[in-house]
Amino acid sequence: MTYARIIVDIAHSQVDRLFDYCLPESLLSLTPGTRVEVPFGRSVTEGFIMELSDTTDVPAQKLKSVRRALEERPALLPQLVETAQWMRRQYHCLLVDALRCMVPAEMRGERVREKQIKQAYLAVSPEEAGAAMAALKRAPRQSAALNALLAHPDGIPVCELSAQSGATAAALKELEKKGYLRLEEMRLNRRPAAAKGVIRDEAFSPSDDQRTAIKAVNAAMEQEQPKPFLIHGVTGCGKTEVYMQCAAQALARGRGVMILVPEIALTPQMVQRFTARFGDEAAVLHSRLSAGERYDEWCRIRSGQARVVVGARSAVFAPLAHIGLVVIDEEHEQSYRSEHAPRYDAIEVAAHRCAQENAVLVLASATPSVERYWRANMGEYTLLSMPRRIGSAVLPFVHVVDMRRELKEGNRGVLSRPLVENLETCLSRGEQAILLLNRRGHSSFVSCRECGEVIRCDLCDVSMTYHKAGNMLRCHYCHEEKPVPTVCPYCGSPYIRYFGDGTQKLQEELAQRFPHVSVSRMDADTTAGKDSHLQILERFRRGEDRILVGTQMIAKGLDFPNVTLVGIIAVDSMLFLPDYRSAERAFQLMEQVAGRAGRGSKPGRVVLQTYSPDHFAVKCAQSHDYQAFFDQEITQRRATQYPPFGRILRAVVSSEDEDEAREDAQEIYRRLTREMQDAPDMEASVLFFDVTPAPVARLRAQFRYQVVLKVRADENARKMEDLLFNAMRDLAGSSHAVLETDPSAML
């Protein structure tokens, strides 16, 4: 008898283990990684076969049988089954949560299907068809259909055949009956809009920097367990071209390629570049695809039709076999880490998959994360430098404007005078501008002039954001909305006012100053629609819009040669966030968005408006000096023992009942204290250890407490993480506890 060990597709810690089932005769060919339907309790559920075995400890009368397979070919490659098991250990997540990452959500519960179309073929030789056409003079539609079939030797979808020839269904049926036409059911691949109708291109002849990088990566592809690379390349140095040429090399060796980019950088432009180079060999995976598109792209990868995967974070789980190369573009981006269960880091998962297959991992950025640049300095990665832009393009000149002075001299607007002047020049030359504003909405928040209270969300302990459209307040954490109150809910005063400058306000100021210039806006509000992102960018590319205003979204990867001016409106607010990476993130954003200017033959210019012109992150961005920024930042990290020198571990405990949240957090703290007393050598690694209310003490109607640890980044760090995780289990109360490591924002 063969038994299948199965993980049921139910996310609950109590069923997070293997269940044994009998494998009936008809299903003996199934292998691990296949999804099946099984009886479970009183119902039927889906599950993943993890192992096969000849034995079981389950008594025969209790054993149930697998009912059917949900697919012919296992959804999961063996490497991904192993990766899921590794994720459970690495991220303390449920195995099923890890497995769920690896199949398109729509496949579960069979909510998506293949799309079939009827394809028509000529069933006779062209000569016979010609003779038939002559004989069919009395049936012009049939004759026209034959003519169209002659023009499409590889077949043509029936609907197109009718449209082209005017042949009715009856006419086609007649042709089929006579044996001239053959119909076949064919699977239609739903491709993402950006990948359709792209014209193929050829590789560029590489620059010296590019050639060095390509050579190094190719050489590594021959090695066993190759050392990863960190490419530090300024914006516009031609990194993408390097990825594409290395990818071509991997394909030539018969190996698969994965290119990961941040979700918001996965622009239609990026997709088009890869499609132009690799045609249907490229597949795209990201969250804005329709269910059908995502499923079809996934199937093309699984079947081996597409061997170059371009995708966002979750594409790291693509069913790509025999990987040779994984590229992580903009490796410094926070979005590679998942913020909800399973809380994985796509770069770590990528490294794991590379190790499984002796594949080369390439991390790249114009502004590498401080932690990885430090590790490259320590010899963990091979550092490749690409300090020059392609061709004659140079890095843009950065003009820093002190906004305090602007205010002193009477300018209360969002736009500084130098920015207005530069915009005038830019527009008068027929060029285009991009303006970055690090917030969205019209005004950030609404407050009372008498008591100073800010209008907060009823469910969360955070201020709500004003949105001019609909005159609404919205909570960006729970999406709760309410109308702007006419009197202060705290003191009853009628003097309510709006604070802060948002994209909408900026847009209004631009409309006032440049009434004849068309401005478009790109932020989370305007890109909610499926292809709205593509449409906004296409309008801008065609020059219909002269100014593009947006949030972080516009900072990444856009390549418009006619953009010569970039305005950075308000990044200062980022410098002072309660996050040890705030300076790093502000520097990265300034540098990235500056990189959008002057990418063509015309030189670019950046106007950086700031209230803190003396901050080192601003100064380094002004001189495009990553090294200087890194040196100063790493000195501070060492002094404060923040990553990479220390690690932050945080347990967030939340509950609707405040007492329960507090008591459970205190219980975690007590358990961990006891554990540490038993291991005195661990204690020496602890730099900070406390239990307090979380900075956002209430979120989505849940009260929140936290246990925070800062530990040295030594051998004990991992053990400490495991101890904390153990201390969080089986809490007495009904609260929910989540473990975060090096969280980017301590809400």
Contact residues: ligand ADP, CB under 6 A? 204-207, 210, 233, 235-241, 390, 559
Indicate the residue among 160 and 453 with the shorter CB distance to Zn ion: 453
Nearer to Zn ion, 491 or 684 (CB): 491
Report if residue 451 touches Zn ion, rule: CB under 5 A: yes
Q: How far is it, in rounded angstroms, from Cα 197 to Cα 290?
A: 18
User: From the CB of 207, what's the least distance to ligand ADP, in Å?
Assistant: 5
Cα-Cα end-to-end distance for the chain: 53
Segment interacting with Zn ion, rule: CB under 5 A, options 341-349, 468-476, 512-520, 624-632: 468-476
What are the beta bridge partners of residue 381?
Answer: none
Closer CB to ligand ADP, 104 or 233, in the complex: 233
C-beta closer to Zn ion: residue 549 or 699? 699
Partner whose footprint covers residue 233, from Zn ion, ligand ADP, none (CB < 5 to 8 Å by kind): ligand ADP
Least separation in angstroms between residue 59's CB and Zn ion is 51
Q: Burial, 641: exposed, middle or buried (Cβ in 10 Å; 0-12, 13-18, 19+)?
A: middle
Is 141 within 8 Å of 165 (Cβ atoms)? Answer: yes
Q: How far is the CB of 331 from ligand ADP (least distance, A)?
A: 13
Q: Are 498 and 451 in contact (CB under 8 A)?
A: no
- From the list Zn ion, ligand ADP, none, pick the one residue 100 interacts with, judged by a Cβ distance below 5 to 8 Å according to partner type: none
Contact 213, 386 (CB under 8 A): yes
Considering the rule CB under 5 A, would residue 493 count as an interface residue with Zn ion?
yes
Q: Is 380 helix (H, G, I), strand (E, B) or coil?
A: coil
**What's the burial of 288, exposed, middle or buried (CB within 10 Å: 0-12/13-18/19+)?**
buried
- Does residue number 457 form part of the binding site for Zn ion (CB under 5 A)? yes
Contact 99, 7 (CB under 8 A): yes
Size of the site for Zn ion (CB under 5 A): 15
What gap in Å lies between CA 698 and CA 704, rounded to an integer?
6
Rounded to a whole number of angstroms, the minimum distance from the CB of residue 712 to ligand ADP is: 36
- Between residues 112 and 270, which has the closer beta carbon with respect to ligand ADP? 270
Please identify which residue in 106, 480, 559, 657 interacts with Zn ion, judged by CB under 5 A: 480
Residue 493 binds: one of ligand ADP, Zn ion, none (C-beta under 5 to 8 A by kind)? Zn ion
Query: Interface with Zn ion by CB under 5 A: which range of 78-86, 323-331, 490-498, 725-733?
Result: 490-498
Residue 488 contact among Zn ion, ligand ADP, none, beta carbon within 5 to 8 Å by kind: Zn ion
How far apart, in whole angstroms, are the C-alpha atoms of residue 101 and residue 298?
A: 12
* DSSP type of residue 555: G
Minimum distance from residue 489 beta carbon to Zn ion (Å): 8
Give the whole-angstrom CA distance, residue 671 versus residue 97: 27
Q: Can residue 446 be called a binding residue for Zn ion (CB under 5 A)? A: no
Distance (Å, rounded) from C-alpha 369 to C-alpha 362? 14
Nearer to ligand ADP by Cβ, of 240 and 526: the residue is: 240
C-beta of 21 vs 274, nearer to ligand ADP: 274
- How far apart are CB 497 and Zn ion at their closest, in Å? 11
Of the candidates 668, 643, 640, 641, the residue with the CA atom closest to the CA atom of residue 743: 643
The span from the CA of 81 to the CA of 103, in Å, is: 12
Q: Which does 207 bind (CB under 5 to 8 A by kind): ligand ADP, Zn ion, none?
A: ligand ADP
Residue 697: CB minimum distance to Zn ion, A: 13
What the block records as the tokens of 52 is 């096969």
Residue with tokens 């090695």: 223
Judged by beta carbon, residue 149 or residue 488, the one nearer Zn ion is 488
Q: Are 96 and 85 in contact (CB under 8 A)?
A: no
Task: Tell me the two tokens of residue 74.
Answer: 């296992």
Q: The tokens of 679 are what?
A: 């291991």
Q: Is 473 in the site for Zn ion (CB under 5 A)?
A: no
Interface residue list for Zn ion (CB under 5 A)? 448, 450-451, 453, 457, 459-460, 475, 477-478, 480, 488, 490-491, 493
